[in-house]
Amino acid sequence: MDTLFFKAALVAYLAATVGYLVSLVVRRVVLAKAATWILGLAVALHTVHFLFVFNERGVNVAVNLFEAMSFFAWIVAGAYLAFQIRTKTRVLGAIVAPFAVLLMMLASLSLEGTLAIPDALQGRLVPIHVTLSIIGEGLFALASLAGIMYCIQDRQIRQRRMGALARYLPSLGDLDNINHVGLLWGFPILTLGLIVGSLWARTAWGGSNWATDPKTIWSFAAWCFYAFVLHQRLAIGWKGKKIAVLSIVALMVLLSAFIGVNFVSSVHKFT
């Protein structure tokens, strides 16, 4: 049953993507509104999927690649909808929805044979570590997607190519604010996730093996990069395009740690 709701959510994410992209082409706000409602339906169906998973496995809902990618998509889409309530950024869904579809399709590639949970991932700290980490990463992803749209719109403005599209797109200020909030909340949440993960790793693996694992090293490098980005934003006062570009680069580093670990020898990889 959980797989059925996952597939239904994927279809809804695809429908929302089509709606957002068509709304950009024909420049009709009503289509963007409809796409937002469809995206809300997708998140609702996705939530039901996780309720079934929770009922079946307890709190271990994202300890394999399938569920981790799926949970990542749910967080990004849900966070965007939360921002949408307060800001007029419906068109940002034209980037968020396809990103969610990409994550869901990557998850579906590893759908088979993912129900078994390794003994090392049965600890009480694992669900806390995974949940906090993916929530932080999801907020970072939303900040980066807002950064992508910021760069696109900034380029259009500089080239004076906005025309009638200008009144349809969100303001640069709204996009910069989403970037700011995503970074501001994502960093401490991810930090807590990494701290909990390090405590679990010392218990599960012992010694210093966990500290030299490729996933651990790359995750720490991504954390340092985000610490730099947040420092530049809060202490130095960078904003706008500079932070947007840094956020995009930081997301690439983070995704390398999130997904790339499955292609190297590591004890810290998804099943």
Q: Are 107 and 65 in contact (CB under 8 A)?
A: yes
How far, in Å, are 104, 140, 258 from residue 252 at the CA level? 18, 11, 10
SS3 265: coil
pLDDT at 270: 54
> Which regions in the chain score pLDDT beneath 70?
1-2, 57-63, 111-123, 161-168, 204-212, 260-271
Confidence (pLDDT) at 263: 62
Cα separation of 249 and 226, whole Å? 10
> What is the reported pTM?
0.86
pLDDT of residue 162: 62
Radius of gyration of the chain (CA): 19
Provide the pLDDT for residue 248: 93
pLDDT value at residue 83:
86
Instruction: Determine the straight-line distance between the first and last CA of the chain, rounded to whole angstroms.
Output: 21
pLDDT of residue 208: 57
d(CA 142, CA 96): 7
Closest residue by Cα to residue 164 from 29, 20, 33? 29
